[in-house]
């Protein structure tokens, strides 16, 4: 037995596959958008309670607008994903592969 064969024999087994809820894109996109929306709500309440307002120059306002931007990026990502999934269903040659629902 060569050194290379003994290394191959001692390789650990491959990891188990991920559960579908962790690699399916729609729940991940929607979950991320939900977290950003909750953050925006918390920042808005904090800004109103402290009276600091929504000015991006202060802490609460900056957090609020950052969270709003996160929701916007999530909406953009969901739109792109939906367009790619629709293109894959139609069979377009330029569509990404692997985005079809299982």
| Whether the predicted pLDDT of 37 surpasses 90 | yes
Q: Is the pTM of this model over 0.85?
A: no
Closest by CA position to 65, among listed 73, 6, 83: 73
pLDDT of residue 65: 93
d(CA 57, CA 70): 18
Closest by CA position to 54, among listed 44, 42, 41: 44
- Determine whether 43 is exposed, middle or buried from the number of CB atoms within 10 Å of its CB (0-12, 13-18, 19+): buried
d(CA 36, CA 49): 20
């Amino acid at each position: 037995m060569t050194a290379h064969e003994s290394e191959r024999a001692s390789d650990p087994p491959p990891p188990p596959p991920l559960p579908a809820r962790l690699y399916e894109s729609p729940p991940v996109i929607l979950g991320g958008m939900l977290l950003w929306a909750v953050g925006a709500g918390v920042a808005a309440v904090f800004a109103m309670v402290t009276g600091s307002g929504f000015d991006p120059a202060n802490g609460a306002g900056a957090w609020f607008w950052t969270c709003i931007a996160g929701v916007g990026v999530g909406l953009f990502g969901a739109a792109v994903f939906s367009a790619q999934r629709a293109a894959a269903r139609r069979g377009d040659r330029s569509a990404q592969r692997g985005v079809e629902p299982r």
